[in-house]
A and B are shown apart, each in its own frame.
Chain A
């Protein structure tokens, strides 16, 4: 796919952005629109179905997944501002719906699903102009973005375009932050042990702000830092990119 071929995309907003970080959703829309891409946000969307899927409740996940497949039916890219939800659509829907009448549609959807930063960087090849003051940020790439989607470099490359932004990663960057969806609630002690280590590494980085392209990790790390009274401004990467680039076209 080339940039010229893209003038319309779907936005799959994700449930965590919907409730906890709507500003990241708005930033996503604006980042795409600034590139001349029309963003279609089907209002009937809810969630990708990952929480029950990862808990073993495949039937419930399938109920929700079918609706996503049906509501994002036009043959245009589906943009997801989350590595883990994008991974669900791209890698798990074909399996989850393999024996469903929608199997072909699920495979088609999977093939045109993109993580936001992957799409901005690889397909739209955006050029970002930094309008902000010098700042150091620590970027936490979610495991799903890093491994399942393979988009760590895309997020870092976009940040790298911002002249006044110094980017670092926490020590042991590839280590899971301990969120894991329902894992954080089902295995709280292990999750807390992992999150504590991640918070320590984030703090030790000395950065002024924490960024992540996944809201789950952000809620986990930021939530623990705030409880510790040790918080630093924490944003979704899309929010940060939009704000730094002044919102102008």
Chain B
């Protein structure tokens, strides 16, 4: 139940039910989300400064998006000038084929990967396996999850659904000569030992990209562990994979984004490493990769880009703050969504990538409480976008820009809203209905069991406010 699916709507209800029934999982997520929210809060003590910084972050990302095609061309040009080879992929399949081809061209055998959501999105590991390659995840969380045959449940903390006892069992079972221990330092030591071997012998390293700087042709990678540096420094070939939206215009845009990203993500003032790569090893340098490749992946982004409102989706810097603040994500955990990107940003991205017919139901798992929008460091109006996608899910407008539009429309619900609108657009009818409701309080058809299963019946008041005001107008002249 922890796999990604291209049809997240299928069995979404089942996954929700299972997640809510899993007390250990709920405990894990409640603890982790509370911890992350507190840490973030402590990093932004001054609310005005935070709002200014969010303005700046949003403006930087918006400016980049406004110039996106030009910046991509500039990035390509600067990268080539720096010796980085640039490849373009319209789809996941094309991206996977490019990467597989690159590995084959250098006769790659041992492949390590730094944490990358873009490669999760395109399903790279599966594609490489099909081509006969094994790609080892080197981020500690990703390593744990990969070894267990699972998928990440959070975009920043992939193994957040696991507690140390279960990881201790896994290591003892699966790694030779490893005694069971719940000591986290020892567990990390075990991971370090295994992965060091892999780094030392890897010939291809694959990574994601946090930002690419068009002005200088630079790839920026942000991390704490050093596995990203290992993967991009030690193997002879480095392949970086990035969504086309991650380009920014100038080096000077980076500092504000760096003030926002780690603080929003993990509540750190800064990550241990910020790795700026502007080319392969030069002839006079001792180490570093001989080849650096950048694979630019569209995979539906240019379609999202075509709508002015939905374009804000592409501002995302993948910090995970929206999920850390989402009361639904906190209770379900990441796997219930069945998607690479879970939580609010996933509810916005996935229906646009897969189509509303396959992932539109995800948008229902939201109470529109606004916590995600308030947390987003680049001011993506996530609640507005979720509401918009609900609309596209039920619209019969053929000009809708989202694939699978209208496919969430159910005749029964559409009828309910038509009747509702008729009643509420005719005040006399509305007053008749509310009068009936208040007069026949005990005779009302029971509300959906969805409400009454765990709540008392709704009981209308004996006389509506409208009635009381009408009577007041007659008997109690206004002062």
Same complex origin of A and B:
yes
Residue ranges of A at the interface with B (Cβ–Cβ < 8 Å)? 13, 15, 17-23, 25-26, 29, 33, 38-39, 41, 43-47, 49, 51-60, 63-64, 67, 143-144, 147-148, 174-176, 178-181, 183-196, 219-220, 222-224, 226-227
**Which residues of B436-479 are within 8 A (CB) of A?**
437-438, 447-448, 450-451, 453-456, 458-461, 463-470, 478-479
Q: Known interface pairs A56-B395, A227-B454. Does A25 touch B420 (Cβ–Cβ under 8 Å)?
A: no
A-B contact pairs, 20 of them (CB 8 A): A18-B434, A18-B465, A29-B469, A46-B424, A47-B424, A51-B420, A52-B421, A55-B390, A55-B394, A56-B390, A58-B395, A64-B421, A143-B371, A147-B373, A183-B368, A184-B450, A193-B331, A219-B458, A223-B451, A227-B456
For the complex, is B364 an interface residue (Cβ under 8 Å from A)? yes
A228 to B83, CA, bound (A): 68
A224: nearest chain-B partner, CB-CB? B455
In the complex, how many residues of chain B place their beta carbon closer than 8 angstroms to a beta carbon of chain A? 62
From B367, B413, B423, contact of A191 by CB (8 A): B367
Contact A180 B420 (CB under 8 A): no
A58 and B451 contacting across the interface, CB-CB below 8 Å:
no
Picked from B395, B434, B451, B461, the residue with its CB within 8 Å of the CB of A185 is B451
A192 and B454 contacting across the interface, CB-CB below 8 Å: yes
Residue B149 is within 8 A (CB to CB) of chain A in the complex: no
What's the dominant secondary structure at chain B's contact region? helix
Does the CB pair B479–A26 fall under 8 Å? no
**In the bound complex, do residue B450 and residue A67 qualify as a contact, i.e. CB atoms below 8 Å apart?**
no
- Known contacts A25-B468, A43-B466; decide if A190 and B365 are in contact (CB<8 Å): yes
Q: Which residues of B contact A58 (CB under 8 A)?
A: 391, 395
CA distance A17 to B460 in the complex (A): 10
Q: How distant is the Cα of A63 from the Cα of B371 in the complex, in angstroms? A: 29
By a CB distance below 8 angstroms, the chain A residues around B425 are 46, 63-64, 67
Cβ of B176 < 8 Å from any Cβ of A?
no
Minimum CB–CB distance from A210 to chain B (whole Å) comes to 14
Residues of A within 8 Å of B191, CB to CB, are none
Would you call the interface of chain A mostly helix, strand, loop, or mixed? Answer: helix
CA distance A193 to B367 in the complex (A): 12
Q: How far is the CA of A175 from the CA of B326 in the complex (A)?
A: 9
A57-B394 contact in complex given A148-B370, A180-B366, C-beta closer than 8 Å: yes
* Complex Cα gap A189–B364 (Å): 12
Q: Is B355 an interface residue (CB 8 A)?
A: no
Chain A residues near B387: list those with CB within 8 A.
53-54, 56
* Cα–Cα, bound, A148→B296 (Å): 37
Q: Which of A147, A180, A193 has the largest number of chain B CB atoms within 10 A?
A: A193
Shortest CB–CB separation between residue B443 and chain A, in angstroms? 15
Flag B373-402 by CB within 8 Å of A: 1 or 0 each.
110000000000001011111110000000
Query: In the complex, are the beta carbons of A176 and B367 less than 8 A apart?
Result: yes
The reply to whether B17 and A189 contact each other, CB–CB distance below 8 Å, is yes
- CB contacts (< 8 Å) of B392 on chain A: these are 56
The 8 Å CB contact of A187, one of B16, B458, B461, B465, is B16
How far in angstroms is the closest Cβ of chain A from B444?
A: 11
Please, how many angstroms separate the alpha-carbon atoms of A67 and B453 in the complex? 36
Q: Nearest Cβ in chain B — how far from A180, in angstroms?
A: 3
Q: Is the CB of B427 within 8 A of A180?
A: no
B residues less than 8 Å from A220 (CB atoms)? 455
